Structure 1
């Protein structure tokens, strides 16, 4: 029986994946790299920023400046302030599902909190926010989810994880939790996943 729900943040609670990759698209233009936000999103969804940047440097034979990450994050903050919104149906789902909830994201804690605050979702989690940058574990490693379950007071088998990336789903499986793929744009082959939803209104059925 599922007693706790662990949510990813970017692309799951908040519609931020495009904005994050738009920021990357804009910053990479300074280095002569023309990669669209959509292509970057498809390729690197759910990945660790440092790993993504290493791949880009290698592929395009460039060296990013030391301040690239800080300037990129500042740009993303601006994009968030202007355009960030909750994913469709999230507010209703979080209101109606009364199980304990938390967020476990690969993003920095400050970024997660900012995204939840701007989108008006902070109130649903009572400070139960866990970041890979604090835990020292990045998906597909299950460490971030195991840490979240322990802090929430539940066994892994009692937890469901809602994720929009393959890395997150792999981490949930490795943690021994119920993985629920949120795929509103039908990016993935749903026959490969045991639990999938296209809209947050389907979440209640996926955890019962």
Structure 2
């Protein structure tokens, strides 16, 4: 199976951080009068600059210049005490024998913290890649192409596990196969699955079709 590399998104795919992050945002901006689920759906997979610009649009006012710094500190504190892996992730990772990597839009420190808090960092080692390292964010395919190069595989040897529209678009643009977790995507190019225990079987099926 060394000819196949499996690349995971982080937030909402490996770890249940999207709810925590949005709750932290609402705690700091209580006048953001939107339902939690609405904001989670709107911000899934988006970079922080895009999220904060949308928050300002919804509020019709500017946020303080140091807001992002305070938000990241607040969200990090919540992660250290409340973050959990997505259901079934721990057991799923124990089944896999492929080379594994993480390619995330989150800052490197957040990625590492999330993996360590959830006890799954040992599955990835140093194969953890951030959009902040290359200054390009999904749906730009650059992070996935960068990850493939670092893992010494071609895009055609990569299977990406994603949950967001922008992540799926980035992986497809990189020429990689995509398995989408939980959220339907209207594309014949994307295989969708609702629960993590199904992923090892899907990976076996898809990897058999790769060159």
How does the TM-score come out when normalised to structure 1? 0.92
1:163 alignment partner in structure 2: 162
1:64 alignment partner in structure 2: 63
Offset at 1:194? 2.8
Deviations 1:111-163, CA, capped at 9 Å, x for gaps: 00000010001010011110001111100110000000000010001000000
Q: Is 1:194 the equivalent of 2:193? A: no
Deviations 1:3-38, CA, capped at 9 Å, x for gaps: 000000011111111001111111111xx3222322
Q: Is the 8 A contact 2:32 2:55 kept in 1?
A: no
2:92 alignment partner in structure 1: 93
Offset at 1:59? 3.2
User: 3-state SS of the aligned residue for 1:195?
Assistant: strand
How much is the aligned-residue C-alpha RMSD, in angstroms?
1.6
User: 3-state SS of the aligned residue for 2:159?
Assistant: strand
Greater shift, 103-112 or 87-96, is seen at 87-96
How does the TM-score come out when normalised to structure 2? 0.91
1:44 alignment partner in structure 2: 43
Q: Is the 8 A contact 1:104 1:145 kept in 2?
A: yes
Q: Is the 8 A contact 1:6 1:159 kept in 2?
A: yes
Offset at 1:47? 0.4
2:208 alignment partner in structure 1: none
Q: Is 1:23 the equivalent of 2:24? A: yes
**Gapped runs of 5+ residues in structure 1?**
none
**Gapped runs of 5+ residues in structure 2?**
206-211
Q: Is 1:73 the equivalent of 2:72? A: yes
User: 3-state SS of the aligned residue for 2:91?
Assistant: helix
1:13 alignment partner in structure 2: 14
Give the distance between the partners of 2:88 and 2:57, measured in 1 at CA: 39
1:127 alignment partner in structure 2: 126
